[in-house]
């Protein structure tokens, strides 16, 4: 049996590749959404209407010696159903490219797309605010309740209403519609489902933020402890979170580290675990202040709060443990033995606890950095350097993936 997963583009049959047309013509079974199946001639072919990967897999298992074509919208590699069709043996499957909405839309606008950052709000909750703040061109798929107007309203709430935006509806159909303007101008414009957006700006239009170490003054705070800017810069650089990572911030405090981690893991998710109600509230306020949507505040104490989190962490930042350091680390490594960990401490006792733990776990390499920052302060008519407490930054990396000392 042969299985072909065919990208059908946006819906106009004239945009199908010649290879796709040829394979569909030779097929004996056609599977896909009703809209896509209507695009092809199914005379003398078996037809199965479904967009559920599990149902498609079960149906294909009942077939013998068939040439099966599974139709998917857009391109097979761009937010596609094809990414869920992984149970078929690779040797039995071929994927046939289609024209994605990004490629088609960019060609209409005569805009190069090699530098476009993509997000999807079609059945997903991507953090578009952080994406727009970090990238000069952002393409967004909409769908369901996530419409052009609702996304533009969200951008306006975060002070991004003056940015340029292009919107497209019914791409490739005779009813295709394009609109160009400022984000604030599209807040009340009705668009059909699905539609697409391209938000564009020059780097000078956006606030300038460092990669690591946001200024302390940018965060709301009370008497809840906050990791200072200089320490955050070094500690988070040591952790080196990647864009699609899942991160646990244990003992989030004001949420300063949570915010920075979420800005680094734009396509991932951060879980801020905090037991103090006042700190939980501050973390939420600072998350809102930066317009982040890829953060979940978990109320409770680590490691006991881990039971409410289904995700497996890639990175852990530990700023406070309430005496449960060993239990926290044990729980983390049960989830992912290769999880990268950074721990900050101000006492020698905490350093000793960490070292004694890893003495029993020789599969990890540990390095320690001590940082003591001083800031100038105007006293009378002179500037004096006022020192902060020294902070120990401890990093533990599974030896098979160790990157060496920074």
Please write the tens of the pLDDT for every residue from 57-69: 999 999 999 999 9
Q: What is the average pLDDT across 166-178?
A: 93
Categorize the per-residue pLDDT at 403 as very low, low, confident or very high, splitting at 50, 70 and 90: low
Do residues 136 and 195 both lie within one domain? yes
Residue 55 pLDDT level (bands cut at 50, 70, 90)? very high
- Give the residue-averaged pLDDT of 256-276: 92
Q: Are residues 124 and 94 in the same domain?
A: no
Helix (H, G, I), strand (E, B) or coil at 103: helix
159-180 mean pLDDT: 92
108 band by pLDDT with thresholds 50, 70 and 90: very high
Of residues 333 and 87, more confidently modeled = 333
Average pLDDT of the chain, as a whole number:
90
Does any domain span residue 218?
Answer: no
Mean pLDDT (whole number) for 9-22: 93
Q: Are residues 352 and 270 in the same domain?
A: yes
- Structural domain that includes position 366: 229-398
> Do residues 161 and 286 share a domain?
no
Spatial separation of the C-alpha atoms in residues 235 and 230, rounded to whole Å:
9
Mean pLDDT of 147-175: 90
- State the pLDDT at residue 204: 54
Shared domain for 145 and 257, answered yes or no, is: no
Are residue 149 and residue 274 in the same domain, yes or no?
A: no
Q: How far apart are CA 150 and CA 169, in angstroms?
A: 15
Q: How confident is the model at residue 100 (pLDDT cuts 50, 70, 90)?
A: very high
Residues 270 and 171 grouped into a single domain: no
What's the pLDDT score for residue 406? Answer: 44
Judgement on whether residues 77 and 52 belong to the same structural domain of the protein: yes
CA distance linking residue 255 with residue 287, whole number of Å: 7
Supply the pLDDT for residue 183: 93
The domain that contains 315 carries what CATH number?
3.40.50.150
**Would you call 390 exposed, middle or buried from its count of C-beta atoms within 10 A (0-12, 13-18, 19+)?**
exposed
CATH number at residue 54: 3.40.1010.10
pLDDT of residue 137 exceeding 80, the answer is: yes
pLDDT for the residue 401: 59
290 and 352 in a single domain? The answer is: yes
pLDDT digits (tens, 9 = 90+) for 289-323: 887 888 999 999 999 999 999 999 999 999 989 99
Are residues 177 and 326 located together in one domain of the fold? no
Reported as a single tens digit per residue, the pLDDT across 330-350 is: 999 999 999 999 999 999 999
Checking if the pLDDT of 88 tops 50, the result is: yes
Write down the pLDDT at residue 153.
Answer: 92
| Residue 106 and residue 81 in one domain | no
Q: Can you tell me the mean pLDDT for 106-124?
A: 90
Out of 99, 116, 145, pick the residue that ends a domain.
99
Looking at the structure, tell me whether residues 132 and 74 fall in a common domain. no
Q: What is the spatial distance between Cα 164 and Cα 365, in angstroms, rounded to a whole number?
A: 48
Burial of 402 (0-12, 13-18, 19+ CB in 10 A): middle
- What is the number of structural domains in the chain? 3
Q: At 208, is the pLDDT very low, low, confident or very high (cuts 50, 70, 90)?
A: low
């Amino acid at each position: 049996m042969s299985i072909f997963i065919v990208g059908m583009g946006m819906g106009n049959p004239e945009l199908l590749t010649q290879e796709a047309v040829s394979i569909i013509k030779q097929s004996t079974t056609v599977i896909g959404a009703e809209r896509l199946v209507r695009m092809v001639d199914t005379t003398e072919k078996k037809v199965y209407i479904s967009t559920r990967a599990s149902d498609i897999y079960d149906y294909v298992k009942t077939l013998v010696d068939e040439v099966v074509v599974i139709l998917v919208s857009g391109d097979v590699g761009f937010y596609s159903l094809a990414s869920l069709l992984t149970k078929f043996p690779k040797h039995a499957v071929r994927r046939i490219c289609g024209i994605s909405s990004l490629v088609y839309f960019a060609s209409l606008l005569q805009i190069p797309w090699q530098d476009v950052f993509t997000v999807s709000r079609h059945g997903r909750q991507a953090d578009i605010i952080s994406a727009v703040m970090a990238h000069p061109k952002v393409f967004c798929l909409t769908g369901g309740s996530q419409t052009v107007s609702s996304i533009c309203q969200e951008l306006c709430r975060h002070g991004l209403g003056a940015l340029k935006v292009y919107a497209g509806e019914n791409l490739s159909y005779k009813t295709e519609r394009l609109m160009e303007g400022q984000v604030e101008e599209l807040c009340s414009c009705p668009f059909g489902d699905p539609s697409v957006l391209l938000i564009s700006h020059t780097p000078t239009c956006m606030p300038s933020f460092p990669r690591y170490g946001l200024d302390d003054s940018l965060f709301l705070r009370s008497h809840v402890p906050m990791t200072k800017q200089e320490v955050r810069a070094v500690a988070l650089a040591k952790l080196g979170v990647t864009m699609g990572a899942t991160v646990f911030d244990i003992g989030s405090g004001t949420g300063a580290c949570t915010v920075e981690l979420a800005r680094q893991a734009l396509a991932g998710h951060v879980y801020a675990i905090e037991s103090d109600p006042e700190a939980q509230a501050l973390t939420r306020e600072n998350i809102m202040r930066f317009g982040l949507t890829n953060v979940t505040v978990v109320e409770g104490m680590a490691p006991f709060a881990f039971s409410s989190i289904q995700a497996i962490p890639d990175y852990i930042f530990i700023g406070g443990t309430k005496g449960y350091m060993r239990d926290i680390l044990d729980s983390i490594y049960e989830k992912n033995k290769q999880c990268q960990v950074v721990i900050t401490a101000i006492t020698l006792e905490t350093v000793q606890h960490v070292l004694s733990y890893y003495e029993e776990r020789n599969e990890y390499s540990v390095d320690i950095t001590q940082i003591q920052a001083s800031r100038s302060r105007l006293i009378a008519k002179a500037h004096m350097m006022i020192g902060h407490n020294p902070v120990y930054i401890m990093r533990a990396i599974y030896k098979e993936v160790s990157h060496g000392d920074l």
